[in-house]
Structure 1
Amino acid sequence: MQIKNIAIDQNLKELTQHRTVALPVACYNTTINQHLHGYIPLHWHDEIQFVLIIEGEAIFQVNEERLVLKEGNGLFINSGCLHMVEDNDNSGCTYICLNASPHILLSQELFTTYVAPYIQATNLPYVFIDSNELWGKNIIDAILKVKQLIEQSPQYFEIDITMQLALIWKNLIFNGFQPEYIQTEMLKSQRMKQMLNWIHLNYGEKIRLENIASAGGLSRSECCRYFKHILKTTPINYVMEYRIQKSLVLLQQEESNVTEVAYQVGFNSTSYFIEKFRKSMNMTPLAYKKHKLSS
């Protein structure tokens, strides 16, 4: 079952419980343009994630890097990494998303040696999974098998899932990745999350660039460089887009009106809210509200 609205907390950490009844695992199809925002917004989670494109093309951003995935391509996204997804050229992209707690990959005795170094590494935010390589094909086949096991739930399927996850992990690290731990990279990620956290707690109030910079312990110019390098936008444009994201949920409430929503999400002018909303969503807030309520 697709999750059409990813619930995240003020730190951008996803709140969805990725699990079957017995296991901290989830596997489901996601059609990007069916999401509440029309794309998968920036977020992170403790679980590792494997993706398999089954139709169309998607643009994934993981931390500061962007890459295009086509049908048949796979992707590993490491624990704790900021990521977002957009459809490429309105292709109607659908992908399988497999999320799993790192602690279920291997036994406790093996976790310290074969899992912890990789999920803590600063040089491994993602891995492109090439289905033309044997290790990549093995991973993709195992993803499909996990999805089938969850959907059909045969006897002892939880044991079979853990076997498939161990196979996936073995094939991923078998490529000889050497984990690295660069303190400056860890600090950069921490500062970025601190600034985003501050925005998400205060988006309804007046926000200045120096407020955002201060939350990350940075100067204004360094703050701008962080956002430009990692998120490919400015801090103020990010605030604007986040406010519009928050307005989407409010506009779907039957009793809401555009002016109240505008002020609630931090705009001090209804006309300015309408202008920015139209630019972002290609329709006015009122048209969006009517469309959602009618559907």
Structure 2
Amino acid sequence: MQIKNFMIDHSLKELTAHRTVVLPFACYETTINQNINGYIPLHWHEEFQFVMVIKGEAIFQINEEVVTVQKGEGLFINAGCLHMAKDKNDSGCVYLCLNVLPSFVLSQELYSTFVYPYIQATNIPYIILSANEQWASTILDSMMKISQLIKEKPSYYEIDISVHLTYIWKNLIMNGVSLEVEQSEIVKSQRMKQMLHWIHQHYAEKILLEDIARAGQLSRSECCRYFKRMLKNTPLNYVTDYRIQKSLILLQQSDSNVTDVAYQVGFNSTSYFIDKFRNAIGMTPLAYKKYKRNGTNTLEQ
């Protein structure tokens, strides 16, 4: 299953229910450029995420760090971490994604000792899974086996999946990563999510830098430093980018027009909206609307 339009709440928490009918986890293939935005937008969720690139290569941002993952490599993304993904060099990147609720990884009796400390650790927002490392290669192999089990659904496949998940987790924590918890990192993450939450509630209104900073209980300068460090962007440029993201959905409605959409997402000038949209998407809003309506691969500029 390909999720082409991430549903997130105002805090960027993904609302997709990551589960099969029985198990609290999900496994699916994602083609990055098929997402409505052309990339996987910034979001977070309560599940652990294991990624394996099976075609091309991708650039992942996890919190404030950026890593490139090539075909055959993988990535563990810790629960609660902000992350996004882009295709690198138009490679047609496809990755296998396994999202699993932490409480399902091990039994309740083992959870507090072998799982919960890793959720709390602030020094492991992600771990690279290299096929050259035996422990990581084992994880990648188990991910492929889980994917195959879901496709074939043999008898008792749910139990086999549970066994593989346990094996994946055991190999992950056996690689020797020490756990650290820094209260300042926890506070930083909370403040960042508070500011994003405020933007996503008020993006259709007039937004000032002071408003965003106040939501994070920061000064304007410190607010700018947070965004630059964690999102590689300025606060107000992020607002513009988010407004463009929201406009993509509205423009696909048959009765929408460019001017109305511009004002609905918070722009106070149609010409400014068109200019920013063209810079971000590579075509005008009207061309995008026609492109989506006609389902053509020819992009009118």
Partner of 1:260: 260
In structure 2, distance between residues paired with 1:127 and 1:56: 20
In structure 2, distance between residues paired with 1:152 and 1:10: 37
Task: Kindly provide the CA deviation profile for residues 204-258 of structure 1, in whole angstroms up to 9, marking residues without a partner as x.
Answer: 0000000000000000000000000000000000000000000000000000000
**Runs (5+) with no aligned partner, structure 2:** 296-301
State the SS of the aligned residue for 2:236.
helix
Partner of 2:186: 186
* Greater Cα offset, 202-211 or 176-185: 176-185
In structure 2, distance between residues paired with 1:17 and 1:116: 21
Partner of 1:222: 222
Mapping 1:114-153, distance limit 5 Å: 114-153=114-153
* Greater Cα offset, 153-162 or 44-53: 153-162
Deviation at 1:53, TM superposition (A): 0.5
State the SS of the aligned residue for 1:49.
strand
Number of aligned positions between the proteins: 295
Partner of 2:236: 236
In structure 2, distance between residues paired with 1:152 and 1:203: 44
Deviation at 1:110, TM superposition (A): 0.3
Task: Kindly provide the CA deviation profile for residues 136-176 of structure 1, in whole angstroms up to 9, marking residues without a partner as x.
Answer: 11000000011111111111111111100000000000012
Deviation at 1:52, TM superposition (A): 0.3
Pair 1:249 & 2:249 matched: yes
Deviation at 1:120, TM superposition (A): 1.3
**Runs (5+) with no aligned partner, structure 1:** none
In structure 2, distance between residues paired with 1:148 and 1:119: 28
State the SS of the aligned residue for 2:187.
helix
In structure 1, distance between residues paired with 2:61 and 2:223: 19
Partner of 1:2: 2
Deviation at 1:70, TM superposition (A): 0.6
Task: Kindly provide the CA deviation profile for residues 27-47 of structure 1, in whole angstroms up to 9, marking residues without a partner as x.
Answer: 111010011000000000000
Partner of 1:17: 17
CA RMSD of aligned residues (A): 0.5
State the SS of the aligned residue for 1:5.
coil
Amino acid at match of 1:6: F
Deviation at 1:23, TM superposition (A): 0.3
Partner of 2:299: none
Partner of 1:38: 38
In structure 2, distance between residues paired with 1:77 and 1:195: 22
State the SS of the aligned residue for 2:217.
coil
* TM-score, normalised relative to structure 2: 0.97
Percent identity reads 65
Deviation at 1:132, TM superposition (A): 1.0
In structure 2, distance between residues paired with 1:269 and 1:256: 17
* TM-score, normalised relative to structure 1: 0.99
Amino acid at match of 1:176: G
Deviation at 1:293, TM superposition (A): 1.1
In structure 1, distance between residues paired with 2:179 and 2:199: 32
Deviation at 1:119, TM superposition (A): 1.2
State the SS of the aligned residue for 1:218.
coil
Superposition misfits of 4+ residues, deviation over 2 angstroms: none
Amino acid at match of 1:69: V
State the SS of the aligned residue for 2:250.
helix
In structure 2, distance between residues paired with 1:18 and 1:153: 18
Pair 1:287 & 2:299 matched: no
Task: Kindly provide the CA deviation profile for residues 182-220 of structure 1, in whole angstroms up to 9, marking residues without a partner as x.
Answer: 000000000000000000000000000000000000000
Amino acid at match of 1:46: E
Task: Kindly provide the CA deviation profile for residues 97-122 of structure 1, in whole angstroms up to 9, marking residues without a partner as x.
Answer: 00000111111000000000001111
Partner of 2:171: 171
